[in-house]
Amino acid sequence: MSNEPLAFPNLSLWSRFVPFKTILVSFTLVGLLASNVASLVSVSAHDWMHSALWQVLSIGDQAVADRALANSPKAKLEDTVKKRTAELDAKNRLQAKELEDVQVKNLKLAQQVDVNGKQAKATAAAVHQRLAKGVSRNVAALPSESIPYLGLGVTLAVTSLDIYDACQTMKDFNALLRMMGQGEEKPDLCGQKVPTVDQVLASTKAEWRSSVQRVTDDAKAFKVAVPNVRLPTRDEMAKASCAAVAVPYLCPEK
């Protein structure tokens, strides 16, 4: 029997493979570590690796690749982005609709304001014309109102016309208020009755002082200049009456 040592030819091959394996494992670990670090610190690297993995998995079936990567950070991020985008789109559509509604309301409001403005202008013109006519009428009535008894009838007629004008003015204002949605004021003055000549004469003795005081107080309150109100003298009565009619014992004979 030979005493030569046994030869293990495969042992030398394994010995040569072990260092290569160690290097391969080291490179693999380094590569895995580098890829993990890159995926954590670089979005583009993570997206590239995710895309590469999806391409590999989709060789068999794209649905399988989608299910396999459904819970990946990139897939979750994309799903979150889609949901947030859908929510933003819904909010934008809602806001656009609300903006459109506001614009329509503003247009209607502008049209209503224009209509109200024209109506207010027409009302102001009508009231101005009525007031101007009333002022002219009152001034024109002054000469006849200065004549005793005759002036009383003229004054009552002018007062009736003033009440009528005031009633028409209130009706114009109420129409304007209703158009603006503000209801209306009750025109109580439209039912105001003017006394007759006989009724005024009957109340003269008891009420003439309070009547004068009322007019004087109102004039002072509104700071309107009024002449000194007093009872007339005989000459003043003659001057006022005799110009229109010859009153016995008052007017001189011609």
Q: What is the pLDDT of residues 10-56, one digit of tens each?
A: 445 555 555 666 666 665 665 555 555 545 545 555 565 556 655 65
Average pLDDT over residues 147-176: 92
Same domain, 81 and 188: yes
- Indicate the pTM of the whole model: 0.59
Q: Which two tokens stand for residue 99?
A: 């903006």
Same domain, 184 and 199: no
Q: Which of the four pLDDT bands, split at 50, 70 and 90, describes residue 238? A: confident
Q: How many domains does the chain have?
A: 2
- For 113, list phi and psi in degrees, rounded to 5: -60, -40
Q: Which two tokens stand for residue 221?
A: 């309150």
Tell whether 180 is covered by a domain: yes
Tell whether 184 is covered by a domain: yes
Whether the predicted pLDDT of 164 surpasses 90: yes
Could you give the CA distance from residue 167 to residue 134 in angstroms, rounded to a whole number? 13
Q: Which residue has the higher pLDDT, 70 or 88?
A: 88
The one-letter amino acid at 111: Q
Closest CA to 201 of 153, 240, 233: 153
User: What's the pLDDT score for residue 1?
Assistant: 46
Same domain, 185 and 213: no
Domain containing 172 equals 76-193
Could you give the CA distance from residue 102 to residue 105 in angstroms, rounded to a whole number? 5
Same domain, 185 and 219: no
Q: Which residue has the higher pLDDT, 120 or 51?
A: 120
Average pLDDT over residues 112-116: 86
Q: What stretches of 42-72 show up as alpha helix (H) in DSSP?
A: 43-57, 62-68
Could you give the CA distance from residue 143 to residue 14 in angstroms, rounded to a whole number? 144
| Residue whose pair of structure tokens reads 């690297």 in the numeric block | 45
User: What's the pLDDT score for residue 155?
Assistant: 94
Closest CA to 178 of 190, 189, 187, 188: 187
Same domain, 187 and 86: yes
Same domain, 160 and 242: no
Whether the CB-CB separation of 189 and 166 falls below 8 Å is answered with yes
Same domain, 202 and 164: no
Whether the predicted pLDDT of 218 surpasses 70: yes
CB atoms within 10 A of CB 241: 20
| Residue whose pair of structure tokens reads 């503003």 in the numeric block | 106
**Domain boundary residue, one of 172, 193, 214:** 193
Tell whether 148 is covered by a domain: yes
What mean pLDDT value characterizes the chain?
79
Could you give the CA distance from residue 219 to residue 215 in angstroms, rounded to a whole number? 6
User: What's the pLDDT score for residue 44?
Assistant: 59
Same domain, 137 and 185: yes
Same domain, 153 and 185: yes
Tell whether 21 is covered by a domain: no
